[in-house]
Amino acid sequence: SQTIHQWPATLVQPVGSPLSLECTVEGTSNPNLYWYRQAAGRGLQLLFYSVGIGQISSEVPQNLSASRPQDRQFILSSKKLLLSDSGFYLCAWTLERDYGYTFGSGTRLTVV
Amino acid sequence: GDSVTQMEGPVTLSEEACLTINCTYTATGYPSLFWYVQYPGEGLQLLLKATKADDKGSNKGFEATYRKETTSFHLEKGSVQVSDSAVYFCALLSGGYQKVTFGTGTKLQVIP
């Protein structure tokens, strides 16, 4: 069966520090991968998506970046965190239209 | 662009009460529609979906009907339980790369 792993579950980082969040999918090949952010009291904002290795599309310009070094691995990074980067980060995957997303359990990031 | 509008929360209901969470959408073409549920501290789970007009999605006692004429996809349940307390997100998929647009979420609290 397909599973998605996301870590860490929680993270507290100082302003200006780097960030690396990792997401891996098991049990499927060539999934579409997505990073979403959920700010406190707000909906989900699509940050990045990827339809294949090395292919990254950015939805919102910001100080975050994403990479897909392997078929089932999706990484969200930042060189210098801002206070406004705090939020709940969710990774998701899907195979095809109408399949629906499968979400990871999320990473709660607090920038202090 | 595509958008989803949900009724504002929080919604507080007594156990066994009827639930309706309104959702309307704006999209080009023929989107697929979804409801996701997020329990406290967790990622999102797909609750139900409908891929064409007049389809009814159902799961765990929840139902929603794809109404093209009113561009709506309201979530309903006849008798809610305390365990249904969560945040519910309406979402649509339209266009390529399976990018999903989410509503802002509606928090439901069910009290005994």
- SS3 of A8-73: the string is CCEEEECCCCCEEEEEEEECCCCCEEEEEEECCCCCEEEEEEEEECCEEEECCCCCEEEEEEECCE
Between B98 and B56, whose confidence is greater?
B56
Query: Residue B67 carries which DSSP code?
Result: B
Give yes or no for residue A99 having a pLDDT over 80. no
Per-residue pLDDT averaged across A34-57, rounded? 88
pLDDT exceeds cutoff 90 at B75: yes
Comparing alpha-carbon positions, the chain B residue that sits nearest to A39 is B104
Closest residue in B to A55 (Cα–Cα): B97
H/E stretch holding B24 reads strand B23-26
pLDDT average, residue stretch A4-12: 93
Chain A, chain B: beta-carbon pairs less than 8 Å apart: 54
Cα separation of A1 and B65, whole Å? Answer: 29
- Phi-psi region for residue B83, left (φ > 0), alpha (ψ -120 to 50) or beta? alpha
Given CB atoms, is B34 within the 8 Å cutoff of chain A? yes
Contact A101 B44 (CB under 8 A): yes
Cβ pair B46:A44 closer than 8 A = no
| pLDDT higher than threshold 80 for residue A53 | yes
Residue position matching structure tokens 């309307």? B24
Highest-scoring range by mean pLDDT, A25-34, B18-27, B36-45: B18-27
Query: What mean pLDDT comes out for the span B15-20?
Result: 97
- B2 to chain A, minimum CA–CA distance in Å? 13
Question: Which residue's entry shows tokens 């509503």?
Answer: B103
Strand partners, A11: A109
Cα–Cα distance list, B53 to A29, B63, B67 (Å): 31, 15, 6
Give the pLDDT mean for A37-58. 88
Q: Which residue of B100, B101, B104, B107 is the best one to mutate when testing the A interface, meaning the one whose CB has the most A CBs within 10 A?
A: B100
Return the residue of A nearest to B88 by Cα: A43
Chain A contacts of B10, Cβ < 8 Å?
none
Q: Is the pLDDT of residue A97 over 70?
A: no
Place of tokens 């999209």: B27
Q: With 70 as the cut, is the pLDDT of residue A61 above it?
A: no
Q: How many CA atoms lie within 13 A of A55 on its CB side?
A: 12
| Amino acid B7: pLDDT | 87
The strand pair at B11-14 and B106-111 is best described as parallel
**Cβ contact B80:B19 at 8 Å:** yes
In what order do the strands lie in the sheet containing A64-70?
Answer: A3-7, A19-26, A73-78, A64-70
Which residues in chain A have Cβ-Cβ distances shorter than 8 Å to B102? Answer: 36, 43-44
CB-CB under 8 Å, B102 with A100: no
User: Rounded mean pLDDT of B70-81?
Assistant: 97
Cis (ω within 30 of 0) for the bond into A18? no
Chain B residues in contact with A90 (beta carbon < 8 A) = 43-44
Least confident of A47-51, B28-32, B87-91, B101-105: B28-32
The model's confidence at residue B83, banded by pLDDT at 50, 70 and 90, is: very high
Q: Which has more pLDDT, B46 or B96?
A: B46
Q: How confident is the model at residue B42 (pLDDT cuts 50, 70, 90)?
A: confident
Structure tokens at B75: 């979530």
State how far residue A86 is from chain B, nearest Cα, in angstroms: 15
- Using a pLDDT cut of 90, give the percent of chain B over it: 76
